[in-house]
Structure 1
């Protein structure tokens, strides 16, 4: 069965909030956060991705997260699989299909080999076992696997069930240009939106990433479609200092969750070990960045 490709636009990557005292999953904050994504008009949500700390959640917690998202919003959903090997990936995707049902727009699986034929075989096995359309995530910083854009395209061309590619192997713009030209599959950028303008110019279908002001991603992509580079640049400029600030190695997740907390979208910004928290020395600068964006938004309202 050939799956429908993902719709273009912004697929918001959802954080998993935790309670301050016990670090249990904060389901109330999660419902509030995904409600914000719905209000700003994203195309869909990506849940249990790297930003959602899925690798640090139990199976019961993953189920609870999916249930809350499904019950809170009516958006299409991409669900991440945190494992690298096909057998546990299949179990994760089966959980997603069980909870999300026909709202599942795709299961996001990670590239775990540089061999295009082996990758295609593994993707086919996941689809055969689950029936899910697949979003192929190329994220070598997390997986440790490096594949060329040409080899990734070769693998995707063999697999009818691929509904999108998430390109997060820098430099992303030339990779996206190759993937869109070779596969005809929608390709989305990630990495916090740092390269969003250049990725759109290279042919990306939009953004699939976490950012504490996801409405900034939405404005940029919408402006690109309306008026091209100049319009998108003007829409995105106000957000770029914070995008860059959140992109700091190792602590980017903690910074982004703290920014979400300061916006009132989640109650606590804790991350689960071994992820490090945000250094207190960055408090004042984060305040400046968040206030700058908020002030510019308020000035236009």
Structure 2
């Protein structure tokens, strides 16, 4: 069991895929292997049952079993569990269940229909009341998918209202100025300390680190590269961090395509030996032969600069 999540969290929290067999059944052996893979790649934490983890496709009992298995296998490495749900009762059930299993915290995203600052703040107040003020949680800011716009001022309002909010998963795009604004709030004393980990498939990680991010929370299929970039940036080795990041950028960009991103990610994870199948539970997308050939080409080019891509 890991310690509870707090505002000092940093490094790479890998957004974990959920492995399925071709028939749609959960692949428990691959789940164990994938957990080991993330840890071997240098992940400082794991985030499971997120959007890219196909969480809405799981039955409630399956979600708890996935959490139980990953938390037990991760040991001291903190596991954050996505508990976003249309209703607070389902959110509470999953949140309390995974915390009892030893999760470090939960992640909560706003529901897509929210539009005003007051409605967004009110939603998170209700969510905190539902899961319990004792549960550390991550505020997911992902307007490109969730269509909910949160300004730096609104994020500060939510953070200050709820001490149990200890991390922001920052996925705004463009979002570099938002990171700078939040860090400015902290430096001037108008907002308490907050861990900021970034998503968007790591598309902007190189400069996000320079703007004050504490690391990445995303599912790019080379979490070992993400860990290296975070460490190099933290050590002030700017050119080395950018050189490594730039070598991966064509594959990162390809993976960011709407609708096929998870298929690309699972295909690469399968090629890396982390999962047995790149299957998604229905409804889901699959790569065409042409797309697989393109990913293979990108991997071959990447292998010239990073041997981890040579399969």
TM-score, scaled to structure 2: 0.88
More displaced stretch, 45-54 vs 112-121: 112-121
Mapped to 2, the partners of 1:86 and 1:160 lie a distance apart of 19
Q: Deviations over 1:153-181 (max 9, x none)?
A: 21112110011000112112112222233
On the 8 A contact 1:108/1:135 being kept in 2, the answer is yes
Partner of residue 151, structure 2 = 148
Match runs of 1:218-237 below 5 Å: 218-237=227-246
Partner of residue 18, structure 2 = 16
Mapped to 2, the partners of 1:88 and 1:134 lie a distance apart of 16
Q: 2:299 aligns with which of 271, 274, 290?
A: 290
Structure 1 residues 58 and 142, CA gap change in structure 2 (3 angstroms): farther
Gaps (5+ residues) in structure 2?
Answer: 186-190
Structure 1 residues 199 and 299, CA gap change in structure 2 (3 angstroms): closer
On the 8 A contact 2:228/2:241 being kept in 1, the answer is yes
Mapped to 1, the partners of 2:5 and 2:226 lie a distance apart of 26
Report which structure shows greater RCO (CA 8 Å, sep ≥6): 2
SS in 2 for 1:219: helix
Q: Count matched residues.
A: 295
More displaced stretch, 44-53 vs 62-71: 62-71
Mapped to 2, the partners of 1:261 and 1:241 lie a distance apart of 19
Mapped to 1, the partners of 2:183 and 2:89 lie a distance apart of 29
SS in 1 for 2:52: coil
SS in 2 for 1:248: coil
1:109 aligns with 2:108: yes
More displaced stretch, 205-214 vs 79-88: 79-88
1:122 aligns with 2:126: yes
Partner of residue 188, structure 2 = none
Partner of residue 66, structure 1 = 67
Partner of residue 30, structure 2 = 29
Q: 2:264 aligns with which of 252, 255, 259?
A: 255
Structure 1 residues 111 and 228, CA gap change in structure 2 (3 angstroms): farther
Partner of residue 56, structure 1 = 57
Partner of residue 95, structure 1 = 97
Q: Deviations over 1:60-119 (max 9, x none)?
A: 2112211221232221111111314433221221121122x2xx2220001234325414
Mapped to 2, the partners of 1:292 and 1:72 lie a distance apart of 34
Q: Deviations over 1:44-64 (max 9, x none)?
A: 100111111111111121122
Structure 1 residues 216 and 3, CA gap change in structure 2 (3 angstroms): closer
* Offset at residue 246 of structure 1 (A): 0.7
Partner of residue 160, structure 2 = 157
* Offset at residue 229 of structure 1 (A): 2.8
Q: 1:194 aligns with which of 203, 209, 226?
A: 203
Structure 1 residues 68 and 3, CA gap change in structure 2 (3 angstroms): closer
Mapped to 1, the partners of 2:5 and 2:272 lie a distance apart of 37
Structure 1 residues 171 and 144, CA gap change in structure 2 (3 angstroms): same
TM-score, scaled to structure 1: 0.91
Q: 2:84 aligns with which of 79, 82, 85?
A: 82
SS in 2 for 1:124: helix
Mapped to 2, the partners of 1:235 and 1:196 lie a distance apart of 11
